[in-house]
Homo-oligomer: A and B are copies of this chain.
Amino acid sequence: MANDVINVEGMSCEHCVKAVTIAVSALPGVENVSVDLDGGKVSVTYDPALSALDAIKSEITEQGYDVVA
């Protein structure tokens, strides 16, 4: 797992914290999301080995279809 801290502008309230947390958490390979509202920072723990193709397959599955080998 890798951890990165991303500087984000525009988060002003707990709604923003929730929106970012839910959206980023839903991404494939993301293990943990932590938002520092005052500091404008989003800390993310994720699998750096996840490929673009994995993300594409995950998106198709999310839409309700089955990806088969």
Q: How many copies does the complex hold?
A: 2
Among B10, B47, B59, the residue within 8 A (CB) of A64 is B10
* A9 interfacial by beta-carbon distance below 8 Å: yes
Query: In the complex where A48-B51, A51-B48 touch, is A24 in contact with B56 (Cβ < 8 A)?
Result: yes
In the complex, the answer to whether B30 meets A68 with C-beta atoms within 8 Å is no
User: In the complex, are the beta carbons of A4 and B42 less than 8 A apart?
Assistant: no
SS class, residues of chain A in contact with chain B: mixed
Most chain B CB within a 10 A radius of its CB, from A2, A48, A62, A65: A65
Residues of A at under 8 Å CB distance from B? 2, 4, 6-11, 16, 19-20, 23-24, 27, 29-30, 42, 44, 46-48, 50-53, 55-57, 59-60, 62-69
